[in-house]
């Protein structure tokens, strides 16, 4: 059956439309130790990437240029980026700042003591030289793996798999810097309403992107209730609204009839995407694309 869509072909093509087979999708559901997509970026990771990009725009690194940069962009995350550039973990950064600068208030340091902070980091940790060396070095995939082994900023660690699925979905919304609302309702066509676990932007009649997020480790009627909830979302959505579903848990494997019904909604275009913990990176990409297509304002994470 060809995929149906309430969107124009141009918009649909912009979304992730490479739908796996049902059997392939089923394999993505949680194993006893559920993997989390290692490409998923946290809000902190996105902000640190932005800081690095901004720093890269400097012609050269000196106390003067770094002071001017921080004075122009006085955010806590930018101070954190400078600390990471010299190899300071958050714990070591806090200990050093508390001992030598008498405060761990990163925002205060950035706004009122930027020159003092930069001079201190340059004297104690060789900040300018390390930035120069690192920005002129070529990195490869091995460097990424080494960084992942010790970093918590970019990938949501596999050890956090026990967190609520809704928490992961909220992290994705935060990483995009958009206004959102959890566990709410949205207004669709003809003023009809339906429940959702995440709405972007916030506001009953403002939502243009809605998400259902359900994780069940056991079977039961609640899975059928989820299917009905997603079907209601699909039924009332306006032609301009996106509907996504993020599900996980072994409970779905005990109710394959319900899982197949959800999958068919995706395959036939009644919903725009269906994801698991293992494909949250793709969810993040598709959500970002939907935000862009709808022109939803995004604010920088600081």
Q: For residue 2, what are its two tokens?
A: 């060809």
Q: Which residues pair with 181 in a beta bridge?
A: 199
User: Higher pLDDT residue, 111 or 144?
Assistant: 111
Q: What is the pLDDT of residue 11?
A: 46
Using a pLDDT cut of 70, give the percent of the chain over it: 82
Q: Is the pLDDT of residue 52 over 70?
A: yes
Listed in sequence order, the residues at least 6 apart from 266 whose beta carbon sits closer than 8 Å to its beta carbon are: 19, 245, 272, 273, 274
> Once rounded to an integer, what is the mean pLDDT over residues 149-157?
49
Residue 6: pLDDT band by 50, 70, 90 thresholds?
very low
- Considering all CA atoms of the chain, what is the largest pairwise distance in Å, rounded to the nearest integer? 67
Look-up of token digits 């990009």: 53
Spans of all domains in the chain: 9-35+161-294, 43-150
Residue with tokens 């394999």: 27
Residue (of 49, 85, 55) closest to 177 by Cα position: 49
- Contacts of residue 302, defined as CB under 8 A and 6 or more positions apart, other chains included, come to 47, 75, 76, 77
The pTM score is 0.60
13-27, 155-169, 272-286: lowest mean pLDDT where? Answer: 155-169
pLDDT for residue 42 is more than 80: no
Say which CATH architecture domain 9-35+161-294 belongs to. Answer: 3-Layer(aba) Sandwich (3.40)
pLDDT digits (tens, 9 = 90+) for 79-103: 999 999 988 888 889 888 988 999 9
**Could you read off the pLDDT of 198-210 as tens digits, one per residue?**
999 998 899 999 9
By percentage, how much of the chain surpasses pLDDT 90?
A: 52
């Amino acid at each position: 059956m060809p995929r149906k869509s309430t969107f124009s072909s141009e918009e649909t093509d912009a979304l992730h439309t490479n739908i796996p087979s049902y059997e392939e999708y089923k394999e993505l559901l949680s194993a006893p130790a559920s993997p989390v997509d290692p490409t998923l970026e946290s809000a902190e990771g996105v902000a640190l990437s932005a800081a690095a990009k901004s720093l890269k725009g400097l012609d050269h690194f000196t106390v003067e240029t770094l002071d001017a940069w921080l004075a122009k962009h006085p955010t806590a995350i930018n101070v954190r980026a400078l600390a990471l550039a010299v190899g300071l973990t958050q714990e070591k950064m806090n200990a050093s700042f508390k001992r030598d600068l008498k405060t761990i208030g990163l925002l205060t340091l950035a706004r009122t003591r930027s020159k003092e902070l930069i001079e201190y980091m340059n004297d104690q940790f060789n900040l300018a030289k390390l930035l120069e060396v690192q920005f002129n070095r070529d990195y490869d995939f091995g460097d990424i793996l080494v960084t992942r082994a010790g970093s918590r900023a970019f990938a949501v660690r596999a050890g956090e798999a026990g967190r609520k699925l809704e928490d992961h979905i909220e992290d994705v919304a935060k990483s995009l810097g958009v206004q959102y609302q959890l566990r709410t309702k949205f207004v669709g066509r003809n003023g009809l309403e339906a429940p959702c676990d995440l709405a972007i932007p916030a506001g009953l009649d403002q939502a243009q992107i809605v998400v259902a997020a359900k994780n069940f480790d056991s079977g039961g009627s609640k899975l059928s209730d989820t299917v009905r909830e997603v079907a209601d979302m699909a039924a009332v959505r306006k032609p301009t609204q996106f509907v996504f579903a993020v599900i996980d848990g072994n409970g779905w494997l005990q109710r394959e009839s319900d899982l197949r019904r959800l999958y068919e909604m995706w395959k036939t275009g009644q919903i725009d995407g269906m994801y698991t913990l293992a494909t949250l990176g793709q969810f993040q990409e598709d959500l970002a694309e939907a935000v862009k297509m709808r022109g939803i304002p995004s604010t920088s994470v600081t």
